[in-house]
Amino acid sequence: MLNLHRLSLKTLTLIRPSPPPPFLLLLQSSTISSTTHLHEQQQQQQQDIYDPPFTPLKTPISNTPRQTLIPSQDQTFPLKSDLPFDFRYSYSETNPNVKPIGFREPPRYSPFGPGRIDRHWNGVSAPPAEAVDSERVLEERESVLGEPLTEEEIEILVETYRHSHCNRQINLGKGGVTHNLLDDIHNHWKRAEAVRIKCLGVPTLDMENVCFHLEDKTGGKVIYRCINILLLYRGRNYDPKNKPVIPLMLYKPLAPIYPKLVNNVADGLTFEETKEMRNRGLNLPPLMKLTRNGVYVNVVARVREAFETKEVVRLDCSHVGTSDCKKIGVKLRDLVPCIPILFKDDQIILWRGKDTQQRQDSPKQ
């Protein structure tokens, strides 16, 4: 009897099904958890239809439909601006007296966008559609500036805004006083009486020109200047609600093609003399080494001083760049004055010219 009972137990154990392998159990549990998780997400999405992803739900969202945004009347196109000057990309780095000889893009393409302003873009600027009354413009600017600031008021403003940790700062780079920079200045003037402007790069060669265009284009007053740091005051009677309409440029237009900067033969020299002058300039030690986006306030004075004893001067612009190198040469030609005779390997060779030499050789009366 005992043997039969043992046999029956063995048969029963043989008939019992074997347990599934562990990886199948993990697979089943993962599929079940994923389906439940998807089901919960669907329910939550049905409950919070208008809840954007990755943002916490702060207030309960009502089932009322969203309100459609109605465009404000200020953004109706074309925009009409009463500013009395031609719109340009850069006011301080372009000379309106020099006419281009060609364009790199069709002049009909306006950087303001099609039909966004009431002015016609001619490839270089957008002049006002109507004639400008200069006397009326001067009266309006004087009324906004009001009475001149006293010395105590200037000291308070300077002490508030001249430091490097000032929040009301605008960086002025190689583009100079650009068109969109004017809008940035007026936006700062909404909450502050003055704005700190830090100038770097090519515009620092002529800080007087930068100050003139800032005051002329914004209507403000430069109350402080230290090397390349400016403080631009908005005026006593400035009203932020009545700020001028300044349409923004949507992109930087391509620069037009201007006449050649360096001629094959310099004025007043023969071809052989020009060649010899260029070789002599390349072999000279550099007068100055300019850095990229540096402060070039004393470059003009150094070049003028060097021309008192030298006929040719070399400037090392190896860290400046080709485009900025030529801009520096153009500014030095007008400010020193001198004649650039060579741009090679980021080196500027300047010749003082025969007119300067004759003035220095002539006896002083």
For the chain, percent of residues with pLDDT exceeding 70: 77
Question: Contact, 199 vs 170, CB < 8 A?
Answer: no
Among 127-136, 165-174, 206-215, which range has the highest average pLDDT? 206-215
**Dihedral angle computed from the Cα positions of residues 258, 260, 262 and 264, in that order, rounded to the nearest 10 degrees:** 180
Is 356 a residue whose pLDDT tops 70? no
Q: What is the pLDDT of residues 146-205, one digit of tens each?
A: 999 999 999 999 999 988 888 889 999 999 999 999 999 999 999 999 999 999 999 999
CA–CA separation, 210 vs 32, rounded Å?
A: 71
Look over the chain and give the mean of its residue pLDDT values, rounded to a whole number.
83
Query: Left if phi > 0, otherwise alpha if psi is -120 to 50, otherwise beta: which for 315?
Result: beta
Q: What is the pLDDT of residue 222?
A: 96
Is 48 a residue whose pLDDT tops 60? no
Q: Which two tokens stand for residue 65?
A: 């439909």
Sheet order of strands, 221-226 included: 169-172, 194-199, 229-233, 221-226
Rg, the chain, Cα only: 36
| Cα 311 versus chain centre, distance | 38
Cβ neighbors of 235 (< 8 A, separation 6 or more) are 144, 145, 146, 219, 220, 221
Task: Extract the runs of DSSP E, i.e. beta strands, from the chain.
Answer: 169-172, 194-199, 221-226, 229-233, 288-289, 312-316, 339-344, 347-351
Is 83 a residue whose pLDDT tops 70? yes
Is 95 a residue whose pLDDT tops 60? yes
- DSSP assignment, residue 232? E
Is 52 a residue whose pLDDT tops 90? no
Give the residues across from 201 on adjacent strands.
295
**Residue 85 is which amino acid?**
F
